[in-house]
Amino acid sequence: MSEAYGLIGHPLGHSMSPFLHKALFALGGKDASYRLLDLAPETMEQQVREMTGYLGWNVTIPYKERIIPLLDRLDPSAARYNAVNCVRREPDGTLTGYNTDCTGFLHAVRDFSLGGRVLLLGCGGAGRMMATEAAMAGAQLTIGVRNPEKPELTALAAHLREAYPAAGVQLLPFGEISGDFDLLLNSTPVGMFPHTAGCPVPDAVIRRCGAVFDAIYNPKQTRLMELARQAGIPTAGGMDMLVQQAACAQEIWYGAQFSEADLAALTRQAQAQLARQEAHP
């Protein structure tokens, strides 16, 4: 009997996750299905409790934090960031939350300087993970947000300063970002399809950065990345991160193992699939 897995979030719209997971199931020789589960905020908790037929699922915006009280335990990968993007139903029925975004993120920025002067845009579930990884690497970290006075943000900054004293952490409104940075990390949805004209910061900020990573994977090249490339700044987009975190999820769910060559090929296939979808919406 086919095993059931899926992705919960709201609104989901178009997602590459079914394409990726079906390809990974095929590589792993696994008979399984993967469905998009768009859960309305007002009924999300009850709907998750009713997902007894699913052996695991991914979690995306806006539920990476909200799902935590519904779980029985957190793996250290999720507890470190207080954000969950992968859930496994254990054989006894208990639910364990994991974070595989970190695996994908670290792979995607492997050629950049995460421990230097880092500008992080946004600080939701994925942003907190990026902030933590940068602080762990000893970065001088500036976090650009709409409201730096929000209690959860000031608490995060205080925690990072205490836990990683070699790092420097400051919170700033987007409009007050200044200075030079080795790496810009975008964890906001600004520029995501279908609102592809958006850019989270002005060109003047981008040009003071040594490299740019945008966690958005659709479009392949966001406006942020386009402006960076025009200035001769190296960039990386979110598809590599997405593929790597999906592979990590399947390792958690049923012990799958994939080669780097297979995952690199899947990243290329996913980019081609995305291009086809953009050409024929």
List active site positions: 64
Query: Checking phi first, is residue 150 left (phi over 0); if not, alpha (psi -120 to 50) or beta?
Result: beta
191 by DSSP, 3-state: which? coil
Strands 212-214 and 235-236: parallel
* Spatial CA neighbour of 85 closest among 44, 127, 57: 57
Q: What is the DSSP letter of 128?
A: H
Phi, psi values for residue 102, rounded to 5°: -65, -40
Whole-number Cα distances in Å, 184 to 29, 60, 74, 157? 38, 22, 29, 18
Q: What distance in Å separates the CA atoms of residue 10 and residue 240, rounded to the nearest whole number?
A: 23
